[in-house]
Structure 1
Amino acid sequence: MGYFMIKSLKLIAVFFTLACLASSSSATTYTLTVNGSTQQGTVPHFWSRCVGTGGAQLCTDANWKNAAKIGVEEAGFQAFRGHLILSASNPISWSSGSTPTYNWTEFDKIYDILVDTLKTVPVVELSAMPSALQSNGLWSPPKDYSVWGNMIKELVNHCITRYGKANVEKWMWEVWNEWDYKGFWGDYGGDESEYYQLYKYAAEGAKSADSLIKIGGPASSMSSNVQPFWNYCSTNSVKVDLLSNHCYGQSGTTISKPTGIRDDNRTRSNVIKNTGKTLLSLNTEFNSSYSGQGGSTSDFCISMDSHVNAPFVVKCVKLILDDASTYQLPDVLSYWAISDVFDEGSWYSSHSTTFFGQVFGLINQHGIRKATFNAFKMLNMVGATRISLTGGTGDNDGVDGFATLSSDSSQVAIMVYNFYNTLSGQTAIDSVNLSVNNLPFSSGASIEIRHYRIDSLHSNPYGVWQRMKKPLSTNSAAMDSLKAASNLAMMDSTTISYTGGAYTKGFSLPRQAVSLLLFKNKSLVGIAPKGQAIKDNCAFSLNGTVLRVNGTNKSYTKIAVYSLDGKNITCLHIGNEYCDLRQYLPNGVFLVRALGSGSNIIRKIVIGK
């Protein structure tokens, strides 16, 4: 995205679009059918492989680190991609005719957080130009391409020394950011041929350090520039391991189409197919709108704050998965961005006390999870194998979804969304009749069915803030309300004895909303002895901590707190193992059910000092 700029908004088109998008208030009834015996291939979690950060220097900010930790633990994000690592860390000292010297201290401060603290596998954006090499400013070509290439070689060597060869060979390295947008290249004297030179020297430098480094480009603002980039590299024998670009759902209007994100992947996939080579496919920036640097209250600027983005993201994922038999699935579909700790348009420095404000982040600077974050949280619960779901609208507006089976066949996850190709409000409430057949559970098994929801009233702190009249500051009670609304809301939960027949459920689903239905096999296999849990560096409360259970060497990190029938229910997780804290007793005892990792047991955990 644009750095220190806001891309122009086509206001006339906005008003015209708003008039054209006046939706029908009449409700529609949809019938969806899931067949657990019809498997449709694997479901790689490409949407969680990476998420954006804004400028890489933000990674040292305390509020950013809190958001990143939440993203890793709850949404399963595996990497963070940020602009400016080279200019922010400024590692090179050099003048014409001299020998370059390097200081990686500032780089290490950032990447130690990403690699050592957060345990992620980075997607490294090699930008912008360090001051010693700038020919005409931050986003300009280098004064000397040979020195630029040698700097990339030394950077890779340094990372291998610090983080290990095997680890660094898993990273992805992307050269520059949107060279085809003038604010990142053309305004500073660069053109297409200059970018190809920039890439050539960077790739040669990286490969001279380690031939197994995964590097590529063109990191362009549109997929149409991927083919010319490949043509250059192929003609000039320049190494490429990955092809990347960005794609957003709209261009200055309230129309935002998930099909555009899907079609972007098709374009890149076709380029890769025609190369005859095995290349990685990356969309390293996507969102419903690129107009998110703050300052406007237009629908296409607040979509990343509101619930509307949630079904957009889920539909993008579903449409891409639908292509699995025909096109290469992306290795990375990276949402822009993780946090409202954000530097474009000077947003964070000038608005850091507000709760929301048309900024890209999934989590605001106060640690409040937005509705779209909860969509990624839902997606993190889908399984490894796709199973059949029919009856949806496909590319068209309305209700559709997809269903999955966990790797151990203990859980079926069904995502159902209702999305219209607009970032403005929709008022109609539709009906869904869901039929689930051939579940992979034995007859008589105890099956818990949970229904989670994101809409204007659920899992949507922005909606609560709106109803508060958008205060710039608030008291502790109001803050608690916002935090409570940021949790993934559970609509209902029931337990059935599975008979082997079809399970049917009817529910209402507002437009611009998402539901997740989880079917969990909760049959008990035994009773575990009492364990001890200790508080981890903070006072224990239902609203968040890490519990370490003695003897198991495991820390359970809170996902969310729900209230059901007047009782608090907290879901904790570590890896694939989940704990449901069913009851908090006055004597400090939790009754716990552990799921996953081959276990399905009851534990009684005593909260210690």
Structure 2
Amino acid sequence: MLKKVKTILILLPFLLKNLSAQEVIRKADIYVDLSVEKGPMKPFWAWFGYDEPNYTYMKDGKKLLTEISALSPVPVYVRTHSLMVTGDGEAALKWGSTNMYTEDSNGNAVYNWKIIDSIFDTYIKRGMKPFAQIGFMPQALSTHPEPYRHYWKPGDPYKDIATGWTYPPKDYKKWGDLVYNWVKHSIDRYGKKEVESWYWEVWNEPNGFYWKGTEQELFKLYDYAADGVKRALPSAKIGGFNVAGTSGKGAQQMLNDFIKHCTTETNYATGHTGSPLDILTFHAKGQPSIVNGMVRMNASPHLRDIEAGFKVATAYPETKNIPLIVGESDPEGCAACGMATDPQNAYRNGTLYPSYTAATIAREYELADQYKVNLRGAVNWSFEFENQPWFYGFRDLATNGVDKPILNLFRMLGKMTGNRVKAQSNRMYPLKTMLDSSIRGPLSDIGVLASKDKTTAGILIWNYHDNDEKKPAEQVSLQVENIPVKSVRLAHYRIDDQHSNSYEAWKKMGSPQSPSAGQIAELEKAGQLQTIGTAQNINVKSGKININFDLPRQGISFIKIDW
């Protein structure tokens, strides 16, 4: 079987160009060798983020955070915007506030940690870690404080969010002291050891709508923030800037300029050469569209953004080995834009979202291997939107407390521990093809990612295509070799229209916007990760087992083997 898989892999780029290839390699032959390790199964996916920090401590927010923390084998990191924004803590789309900084009538700083504590307390209680974003500008410090509070809604121009919180500070010393006092307060509340395990970052997408200053003002902002962090905790880890569209020339120039500033230029805050740079962060987004009334995904820009960030980091000796964090890693760029105003976002409720994510995460491992980088995190920018319509089409993990199919992919990934092992599929597109043109050929991407730990193995298999269209299920033949025991326990988890899918269950109910208590209970059950049948004991012959099953388009199977 392995020889057959290798032959098809060599021919696959040619075959994908020919419609006749559909007959040649209709069935997916997948081969996994548990004896050949490729590298650690780093759970860089166990990072999540969202725009609206005040959802954190609300009813459905706390419920979802509890579920996210439970699915990961390691502590989950959480990133949110607007942690320093002035306001009353009211939650709204693409808005949040903590009111941590105001000034008295004499211009003296007034610090208030009540709301930020309620946010971070929620994380710490669940064993989660803040990926603490130093932003945005408090109203009392902004050089352009009015207008400040925005009231953006889906369908409004995105630029409408950019109000007074996007401007540089009128006093950089006060800005640095604010950061110092925030970190110092965090140590007093949670302890030095805990805060040492966090990551701190300055600002967000300064090459987009989030920054109204110059590049040098941005570097000055960073220097004073980094100095404040390090004065409070020299062992803290800090970086920036989460540029948007990393594969674009402008974004790459800013990232290069930032690294050069941190390594060779004069620090605005200290007067010394260089600024602390413990992590490097950037964003990566795909680009879905509507083609003849159909949603069509595009993973190429997403993966090219990641590759571009890796290339920049590895070009400098000071950054080639530091932790890299993809601060937002998503199919597109606006979580709060629903499908009513942006129909290309209709992928978010069903199985297309998790199948896309599985296919791209597998390629992120490949890219990290290829460039030999320390990929520490890739933030899935999706959470929940409190008290919003059911299945409105937000990019979220749950709706009204009911888990969506995408969350079950992360439950599958959470079962993969130890090291990645050799896994091949005759239907998995090469990395280069996906970078160049995503998955547009006549055949779907039936790919595989596999791991092995001391007494368990996990095999993730997806059937992904950019086009959101129904196709017949396809045959998968899985062979697992070099199993170290004579008998194993096998469970087959599945995400498709019939399994682990609250959205399909909701549609079958008639898509109610006011479901009954009984219906909600049924939806919550449908939103959990489900198996096909029950777990079975299987005899291992000559170190091998063979499994055959059908996998629908946009479906995902996870084979868990225990011994």
Measured against the shorter chain, the TM-score band is: 0.7 to 0.9
Structure 1 residue 148 displacement after superposition: 0.5
Q: Does 1:102 align with 2:107?
A: no
Secondary structure of the structure 2 residue equivalent to 1:89: coil
Distance in 1 of aligned mates of 2:469 and 2:510: 17
Counterpart residue identity of residue 29, structure 2: T
Residue 294 of structure 1 deviates from its aligned partner by 4.1
In structure 2, distance between residues paired with 1:319 and 1:120 = 26
Letter in 2 for 1:152: V
**2 CA distance for matches of 1:475 and 1:332?**
39
Question: Relative to structure 1, is the Cα distance of residues 427 and 329 closer, same or farther in structure 2, using a 3 angstrom cutoff?
Answer: farther
How far is the alpha carbon of 1:98 from its aligned partner?
A: 4.0
2:380 to 317, 329, 335: 335
Alignment of 1:123 with 2:112, yes or no, is no
Check the 8 A contact 1:86/1:127 in 2, yes or no.
yes
SS at match of 1:417: strand
Matched, 1:303 2:344: no
| Cα drift, residue 96 of structure 1 | 9.2
Superposed displacement of residue 389, structure 1: 0.9
What value does the CA root-mean-square deviation take over the aligned residues? 2.3
Alpha-carbon offset, residue 45 of structure 1: 0.5
Change (3 A) 1:295 1:319: closer
Q: Which moved more, 1:320-329 or 1:484-493?
A: 320-329
Counterpart pick for 2:412 among 366, 378, 394 = 378
**Which among 224, 235, 248 is matched to residue 212 of structure 1?**
235
Tell me which residue corresponds to 2:456: 411
Report the CA distance between 1:290 and its aligned residue: 2.3
Does residue 282 of structure 1 match 2:318? no
Partner of 1:394 in structure 2?
Answer: 430
1:1-80, aligned counterparts within 5 Å? Answer: 28-48=26-46, 50-75=47-72, 78-80=76-78
Cα 1:95–1:474 change in 2 (3 A) is: closer
- C-alpha contact 2:131 2:198 (8 A) present in aligned 1: yes
CA distance 1:334–1:471, shift in 2 (3 Å): same
Gapped regions of structure 1 (runs ≥ 5): 1-21, 342-347, 522-609
Q: Counterpart in 1 of 2:160?
A: none
Look up the match of 1:568.
none
- Aligned pair count reads 476
Tell me, in whole angstroms, the C-alpha distance in 2 between the residues paired with 1:130 and 1:38. Answer: 53
Give the aligned partner of residue 170 of structure 1.
197
Residue 53 of structure 1 deviates from its aligned partner by: 3.0
What is the rounded CA distance, in whole Å, between the counterparts of 2:120 and 2:526 in structure 1?
Answer: 33
The one-letter code of the counterpart of 1:47 is W
Higher strand share: 1
Deviations 1:104-128 (A, max 9, x none): 222222212222x122121001111
Q: Distance in 1 between matches of 2:180 and 2:382?
A: 29
Shift of 1:41: 1.6
| Structure 2 Cα separation of the partners of residues 164 and 317 of structure 1 | 34
Q: Which runs of 5+ in 2 are unaligned?
A: 1-18, 86-96, 145-163, 247-251, 266-273, 440-444
Aligned positions of 1:413-452 closer than 5 A: 413-422=458-467, 424-441=468-485, 443=486, 445=487, 447-452=488-493
Query: Does the CA-based 8 Å contact 1:36-1:439 persist in structure 2?
Result: yes
SS at match of 1:284: strand
Equivalent residue of 1:200, what SS?
Answer: helix
CA shift for structure 1 position 47: 0.4
- The reply to whether residue 504 of structure 1 matches residue 531 of structure 2 is no
Residue identity (%): 25
Q: Could you tell me which residue of structure 1 aligns to residue 93 of structure 2?
A: none
Structure-2 residue corresponding to 1:551 = none
Note the 1:185-264 alignment, pairs <5 A: 185-186=211-212, 190-223=213-246, 224=252, 225-236=254-265, 237-250=274-287, 254-264=295-305
Deviations 1:2-29 (CA, angstroms, capped at 9, x unpaired): xxxxxxxxxxxxxxxxxxxx9x998921
Q: Secondary structure at the match of 1:28?
A: coil
Q: In structure 1, the residue corresponding to 2:412 is in which secondary structure?
A: helix
Three-state SS of the structure 1 residue aligned to 2:500 is coil
Paired position in structure 2 for 1:362: 397
CA shift, 1:358, in A, is 1.1
State TM-score, norm by structure 1: 0.74
2:499 maps to a residue whose letter is H
2:81 aligned partner, one-letter code: H
Secondary structure at the counterpart of residue 60 of structure 1 = coil
Indicate the residue corresponding to 1:479 in structure 2. Answer: 520
RCO comparison, higher one (Cα < 8 Å, 6+): 2
The alpha-carbon deviation at position 466 of structure 1 amounts to 2.6
Distance 1:251 1:304, change over 3 A: closer
1:52 CA displacement: 0.7
Q: Is the 8 A contact 1:428 1:511 kept in 2?
A: yes
